[in-house]
């Protein structure tokens, strides 16, 4: 029997591939998150490979949900950063409302809006009094986000369809452009050459280049 469940939970034991399978966060993205944001600090096997605990896996999963929801909300929210700051916990509350179980699309559109209004009326009466318009705008925004992303009858939301623009959240165009998918005779692959899709203006520049100048030279 396990004597200390907490130790069990923080025991480094899952290789990165398992974390990827369980959370849907690719190894590349996870390493980038570790490098840039230090989201988790995995242990190492004797061979130097990353090993993650159950607690790490849980944390990565939560972060993925939060970042997807936050990104969706951030990218289409009509609220400015300044307005967002005036609505305490808006993003968190909006994510909770949008993630709540709605029996149908139509009902969700209404109930998400209502949930935001109820929240500020009950929890932040001074915000409700002084900034009613802003609360209404926040409620409308959350409702729109729900309307554009969550379709209960089709079981789709922002998690079922990853963002395929770029290669950070999903392989994006590399789903096919992987230098491996080939014609039946194996003669021709779908090319992954970066230059097919990108123009590299400069490589390995020792100093930050002047973008305007580079573009003018194209
Ligand atoms: C088949 C097309 C295609 C190929 C091939 C391709 N890319 Fe991309 N890449 C894209 C698109 C589309 C975006 C998103 C552009 C945007 O957001 O405006 C992107 C975005 C990026 C970004 C920005 C960060 C991100 O992931 O969103 C980087 C870095 C990048 N590519 C690097 C590369 C490198 C390195 C290669 C070669 C190994 C490559 N790409 C090959 C289409 C391609
Ligand atoms: C569903 C598979 C698939 C996806 C996803 C895909 N492509 Fe393609 N793409 C192809 C195929 C197949 C070709 C033809 C390759 C060939 O014949 O060399 C092609 C060709 C191209 C070409 C011409 C390349 C050349 O060498 O002439 C470009 C440019 C291109 N795709 C851009 C993109 C971009 C940008 C994206 C992502 C936004 C993307 N593709 C996503 C399948 C795909």
pLDDT in tens, 137-184: 999 999 999 998 999 999 998 888 778 888 877 889 999 999 999 999
Testing ligand 2's pocket by substitution, the residue of 190, 192, 194 carrying the most ligand atoms inside 8 A of its CB is 190
Ligand 2, atom 14, residue with closest C-alpha: 190
Which run of H or E residues covers position 184? none
Q: Which residues line ligand 1 (CB under 6 A)?
A: 165-168, 172-173, 177, 192, 194, 196-198
Same structural domain for residues 63 and 82?
A: no
- Mean of pLDDT over the chain: 85
pLDDT in tens, 93-114: 999 999 888 999 999 999 999 9
Instruction: Report the alpha-carbon distance of residue 113 to residue 135 in Å, rounded.
Output: 10
- Percentage of residues of the chain with pLDDT beyond 90: 49
Domain that holds residue 22: 8-69
Instruction: Report the alpha-carbon distance of residue 53 to residue 41 in Å, rounded.
Output: 10
Pocket flag, ligand 2, residue 175 (CB < 6 Å): yes
Ligand 1, atom 2, residue with closest C-alpha: 197
Is the pLDDT confidence value at 76 over 50? no
| Number of domains, the chain | 3
Same structural domain for residues 56 and 92?
A: no
User: In angstroms, what CA-CA distances link 37 with 32, 57, 177?
Assistant: 8, 16, 29
pLDDT of residue 110: 96
In a domain? residue 187: yes
In a domain? residue 2: no
Are the CB atoms for 119 and 98 separated by under 8 Å?
no
Q: How many CB atoms lie within 10 A of CB 9?
A: 14
Pocket flag, ligand 2, residue 20 (CB < 6 Å): no
Question: Under 8 Å CB-to-CB from 156, ≥6 apart: which residues?
Answer: 150
């Amino acid at each position: 029997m396990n004597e200390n469940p907490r130790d069990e939970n923080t025991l480094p034991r899952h290789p990165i591939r398992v974390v990827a399978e369980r959370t849907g966060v690719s190894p590349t993205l996870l390493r980038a998150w570790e490098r840039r944001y230090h989201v988790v600090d995995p242990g190492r096997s004797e061979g130097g490979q990353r090993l993650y605990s159950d607690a790490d896996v849980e944390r990565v999963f939560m972060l993925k949900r939060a970042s997807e929801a936050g990104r969706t909300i951030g990218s289409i929210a009509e609220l400015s950063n300044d307005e967002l700051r005036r609505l305490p916990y808006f993003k968190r509350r909006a994510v909770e409302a949008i993630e709540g179980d709605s029996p149908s699309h139509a009902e969700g559109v209404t109930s998400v809006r209502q949930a935001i209004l109820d929240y500020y009326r009950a929890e932040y009466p001074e915000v409700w009094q002084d900034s009613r318009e802003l609360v209404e705008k926040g409620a409308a925004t959350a409702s729109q986000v729900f309307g554009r992303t969550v379709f209960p009858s089709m079981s789709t939301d922002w998690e079922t369809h990853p963002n395929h623009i770029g290669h950070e959240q999903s392989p994006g165009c590399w789903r096919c452009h992987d230098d491996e998918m080939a014609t039946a005779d194996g003669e021709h692959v779908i090319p992954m050459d970066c230059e097919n899709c990108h123009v590299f203006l400069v490589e390995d520049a020792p100093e930050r280049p002047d973008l305007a100048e580079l573009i003018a030279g194209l």
